[in-house]
Structure formats: structure tokens, C-alpha cells
Amino acid sequence: MYTIGETAELLGISAHTLRYYEKEEIVRPLRDAGGDRRYDESHIKWLQFVIKLKETRMPIASIKKYASLVIEGEQTAGDRLNLLAEHQRSIRAQMQTLQDADEMLTFKIASYRTLAEA
């Protein structure tokens, strides 16, 4: 079991972010006898996934929706599939945009190298 500070450090996020995720019902930490938050390995794995969704620009509203679907159970598998498939399409579009930009930059850099060497 990890404290909120240990969990934040382990995940590279702030304790404030963990509290926000709890407030938004994205994560539901356990509580010890004193009422302090405790996170187990399942919380860590879940939060790692949430962080990846956030890093890949999934809106917080969609992350909340996904979290609520997970809590609702297996009957929401189709909805979860659709939500994640849509996000994957978005990621692939982002990747294509980055690839296109990289190709343009490669061309420009090569052009400037040629000019600089002349």
C-alpha cells in the first residue's frame, strides 16, 4: 500500500492531481483507519493507464466516462470498446500529423545544411 505522496512520486504526478482524480471519480483510493488515502497495485496500474490517456490528449470528460463505465461492469464492454477505439483513431491522427511535420522539418533542415555548406 502506498500513501498519496508515495503514489504521486511513483507516478510522477502531484498529490493535488490524485485528489482531483478522486474528486472526479476517476480513482477511488482505499482509506486507512485514520482516513488517509491508500493506493494498492491495482490503483497504480489504473492510474498509469489514466495518465497515458491524458498524455495522449483524451479529454478529462472522456476519462471520467470511461472510469464510470468500468465501475458499472462488464455489460459496458461495448461502450468502453467504442470509447477507446475512438481515442485510438485520434492518437493515430496525431501520429500522422507529427510524421508529416517531421518530414517537412527533415526537408528544411537538409536545405539549410546545403546552404550552410556552400
Please write the tens of the pLDDT for every residue from 7-50.
999 999 999 999 999 999 999 999 999 999 999 999 999 999 99
Name the domain count of the chain: 1
Q: Could you list the residue range(s) of the whole structural domain that residue 24 is in?
A: 1-55
**What are the angstrom distances between the C-alpha of 22 and each of 34, 43, 50, 62?**
18, 11, 12, 15
Alpha carbon 63 to its chain's center: 8
Amino acid 37: pLDDT = 95
Phi, psi values for residue 3, rounded to 5°: -75, 175
At 45, which CATH number? 1.10.1660.10
**Could you give the dihedral angle defined by the CA atoms of residues 16, 22, 25 and 31, in that order, rounded to the nearest 10 degrees?**
180
Phi, psi values for residue 29, rounded to 5°: -70, 160
* Residue 101 forms part of a structural domain: no
Please write the tens of the pLDDT for every residue from 54-111.
999 999 999 999 999 999 999 999 999 999 999 999 999 999 999 999 999 999 999 9
